Structure 1
């Protein structure tokens, strides 16, 4: 597995070792964007809830275009991600996939491992 240490001024989180990654031109600007899962990050007081970021590419690399990054975290944003709540050990972003549909529309898949139910 490759590891990316995110330590740049345009990422709001502290530097963390990232895990799963994939690429796609998510904002359809002609530059490759990087989807990064940071699975062992605590979200508030919730241990190892994890989150995922889209780091946008630009003319000379990541973060060099007008759009820098989009942070995806359970309980924030829109849709299914906003509707869910982070739980300890969720490890959001443990697996990620990005690509385009047959119609050319970009997509992101963000995995949250299934934990055994409590008895």
Structure 2
């Protein structure tokens, strides 16, 4: 956050809410982060508690962890914390189900979908 505060032209994209939790528990750090989010220097992508595994996770668990992360972002950042980018960069590839969940979520949440790997024939 120090570097972002020094230079307003810098931006940072934050993915997993679980790692954010450490800063949110500290009042001073939380206030600093809220200011940076309001200024548009920190943007949340994905918004889930974690980037879930796509091979073995059940869709209910995926929805639960996404909902947890999004609730936390809403609680601490309001509308400024709503992710506009669905971010799922599973290094082992993507499941049809995950793409479907993120596409369905894009109707009310995301404006962009970002995946790490695509099939070579695409």
Normalised TM-score (structure 2) = 0.23
Q: Which has the higher strand share?
A: 1
